[in-house]
Structure 1
C-alpha cells in the first residue's frame, strides 16, 4: 500500500482554509441533552427553553418603599408590611399600610405612594397622588409556561438568575463532548526538562485549554509511541466523542494515522488544509460515530490546526452558535502567501492588530504573547484588514496523562 493510496479523495484533500473550518462546524450535530443543576450550568448551551413555572411576579408587589393606599387621602396607617410577608390583608377605604419594595400589596390597594411623595402626621399620611401606581402586577413579567430564554442560548449569569426567579433548580443543556488526546512520538516526555533529542509535550496543556474553552472536557491524555498497533488501540478506546491525535497526521514513515483510519473504515471530511503553518491536518469520523482530528506535530502548527478544525467541531457538538467574525487592520511584517492563507500571531492594539515577529511552526513563544491569530490571505499588504481568531481559551488544565 503506497502513501498516496492512503490519502482521502481529491474532493476533501487540501481544502481551502475557510472551507475546512466551515466543514468542521457544519457537519456535527449537537450531542444529546442532559439535565444539570443551576450551580454547574454556567457556560453551557440550552438544549430546551427556560419557561416560567409560575406567574412572575407571583402576586401584586410593591415597586417602591412607601405606603400602600386605598381611596382618596389622607389615609390612616393601619400597619406595616415587609418583603416576605404571607399574611392575608385587605385594606379598607381611607387606610394605608407602610410597605417595603417587594412586599405583597394588600388586597384593595390602588397604589403605592413613595415615601418622598408623602407627609406623615401621627397615624395619618397625606400625599398628592401621582399617575403611577408603583405596583408590579402578578404575571406582568411572565405567565406560567411562557418562554423566558430560548434554546440555543449560552447560560450566562443573567440566564441563571432568570431561571432561579422562575423556580428552576435545573436546566436542560447539551452534553459536553468527551475528548481523548493522543500525543504520539517516541521523543515525547510529559514532565520535567527533556534530555537532548527528546521534547516536552506541549499539546496536553494547550489542546486541553482549547477543549475547555470550546465547551468540551478532556477525558484523558494518552501518550503513544510511533507504533501503528498502539495508535490503533488509542484511537478505538471507548468513551470519547472526539479523539485528537497529534504528530501523526502527515505521510512520513512514523505517521500512522492515515493507515489506522483506513483500517477502521473511517469517513474522511478534511485531509490537508491550504494554510501555513498547519497544512497536514485532518478530520474523519469513525463508523461508531466518534470524530477524529489529526494535528501536525509542530506545536504552533498544531495550534493553528486546533483552531481550524477542533474548535469549531467542539462548538458544533455543544450547540454553540458561531461568533461574529472579528476583522481589523493588521500591521507588521509577514510573508504573504501565494496560495491558501498564512496564520500569524498578533497583539491587539486600540485600532488594529500588530503581527508578533519570529513565529515559527515548532515554537509557541510568539503565540504565547499574542491575543489572536490573523488570517493573512494572498494580496494582503501591511495595514490591510484581516480576519482574527481570538485566543480566549479557559478552563482547567489537562487530564492526568495515561498510557
Structure 2
C-alpha cells in the first residue's frame, strides 16, 4: 500500500521485531543493544582503595609510618591501629582500620613520622560503593557504548546478552551497470556498505544480478539474510520483476510505494519465512531516500533500537505540488540552504549536504532526516 513519508517510516519500523538475542563476548557487543540488563558480577570497587597518592591513616595525627602498598600489590595483612599510617598509591588496597587517606601533597613527613590535616573518611573508595553483585546497572534496550563496555569490565562481566546486528544482503540488478560505452557506472553499490553500517546492519554481501526474473527469483528464495536490499527492478518496465515476483512468492506488503519525491518506488515486504525485502530504486539519490525511509527504520526495529526522532524546522524550501519532497540541505547561520542537484539520479547535492529536509506538500514545518555518515 502506498503511504505518506512519515507513515512509511513508522510502518517499516513497526513491522520489524527485534531478532532473537544472543550472548557474545563483551568486546563483540559494541554498538549493539542489550537484550538483558547489565548486572554486576562483582563489587565495584572490588576492595577499599585509595583515591589519592598519600598515607592511609587511623585516628588523629601525628602518625607513625608502619608500611607501604603500591597499586596492584596485595593489601596489608594487619589492621592499622590508632596513630598509625600506611603509605599508599592511588588505587592501592587499603589496610583494615583506615579512616582516611592524607594526600601526599598535604603531608609533612619526617622519617617514620607523618603530620597533616585530614577530614574523616576523605579520599577512601569503599568496596561496593558504586555497584554490588546482582545490582542492575544498565537497562535492557540500551546501546552498548565504549562506556558500557568499560563498566562491564569493571564489574567482572565478560559476556553480554544482546540483539545481534541484522544480516543484510544487497542484490544489485541491472544490465545497464558497467564502465563500457552505453553503460551507467554503479553509484549505489559503493555506498551500500556505509549505508548499512550507519543503520546498524551487518552487510553479508553484495550480489550483482543481470536483468531477468529467473536470477532474481532464485536470489529471493535462496539468500540467507534478515533483510534483502534490492536495487533496481522496482518500477513497472519490462525488466522490473521485483513486485510481481514478491506477489508470486506470497510476500506481505508493508509499504508498497511512498508519496515522496524522489523515492516513490520504495517498498518493504515480509516473506513467509519472516525475511524482509526492501526495494530501492535504481537512481542513486532516490535509492538513498528510500533507504532512510524504509530500510533504516526496518533495521532499527530488527536490532532492538528506537526509531530516531527527527527535528522539526521552519524554512522556506521548495515544495512538490502533491508529494513530500526530500531536499539536500546544509545548515548555515541564516538557516537551511537548499543545495540543488536533487533529482532522483543526482548525487552532487546530497554529497555536500548535512541532512535531508523532508518538506510536506501541504505546507507547515519540515523535518530534518540525518544522512548516513
TM-score between the two structures when normalised by the length of structure 2: 0.95
Q: Which runs of 5+ in 2 are unaligned?
A: none
Q: Secondary structure at the match of 2:257?
A: strand
The alignment of Structure 1 onto Structure 2 pairs a total of residues equal to 372
Is 1:365 equivalent to 2:372 in the alignment?
no
Q: Following the alignment from structure 2 to structure 1, what is the Cα–Cα distance between the partners of residues 294 and 310?
A: 16
Is 1:180 equivalent to 2:169 in the alignment?
yes
- Contact 2:58-2:85 within 8 A present in 1 as well: yes
What do residues 168-221 of structure 1 show as CA deviations (whole Å, max 9, x unaligned)?
A: 2222221111111111112122xxxx2332112222122221111111122121
Provide the residue aligned with 1:229 in structure 2: 214
Provide the residue aligned with 1:52 in structure 2: 40
What do residues 279-307 of structure 1 show as CA deviations (whole Å, max 9, x unaligned)?
A: 11111100011001111121111111111
Provide the residue aligned with 1:390 in structure 2: 370
Is 1:142 equivalent to 2:127 in the alignment?
no
Q: Following the alignment from structure 1 to structure 2, what is the Cα–Cα distance between the partners of residues 85 and 91?
A: 17
Structure 2 counterpart of 1:305, from 258, 272, 290: 290
Provide the residue aligned with 2:253 in structure 1: 268
- Contact 2:99-2:120 within 8 A present in 1 as well: no
Q: Secondary structure at the match of 2:33?
A: coil
TM-superposed CA distance for 1:320, in Å, is 1.5
Q: Following the alignment from structure 1 to structure 2, what is the Cα–Cα distance between the partners of residues 85 and 218?
A: 46
Q: Secondary structure at the match of 1:148?
A: strand
TM-superposed CA distance for 1:344, in Å, is 0.7
Q: Following the alignment from structure 2 to structure 1, what is the Cα–Cα distance between the partners of residues 98 and 167?
A: 57
- Contact 1:372-1:389 within 8 A present in 2 as well: yes
What do residues 61-102 of structure 1 show as CA deviations (whole Å, max 9, x unaligned)?
A: 111221111122111011111111214231122111111111
Q: Following the alignment from structure 1 to structure 2, what is the Cα–Cα distance between the partners of residues 303 and 177?
A: 19
Provide the residue aligned with 2:18 in structure 1: 30
Q: Following the alignment from structure 1 to structure 2, what is the Cα–Cα distance between the partners of residues 77 and 322?
A: 60
| Equivalence map 1:7-86=2 (5 Å) | 12=1, 14-86=2-74
Is 1:197 equivalent to 2:197 in the alignment?
no
- Contact 2:102-2:117 within 8 A present in 1 as well: no
Q: Following the alignment from structure 1 to structure 2, what is the Cα–Cα distance between the partners of residues 246 and 308?
A: 15
Show structure 1 runs of 4+ deviating over 4 A.
none
After TM superposition, the structure 1 stretch with the greater mean CA deviation from structure 2, 271-280 or 356-365, is 356-365
Provide the residue aligned with 1:117 in structure 2: 106
TM-score between the two structures when normalised by the length of structure 1: 0.88
Is 1:281 equivalent to 2:261 in the alignment?
no
RMSD (Å), alpha carbons: 1.7
TM-superposed CA distance for 1:329, in Å, is 4.1
TM-superposed CA distance for 1:388, in Å, is 1.0
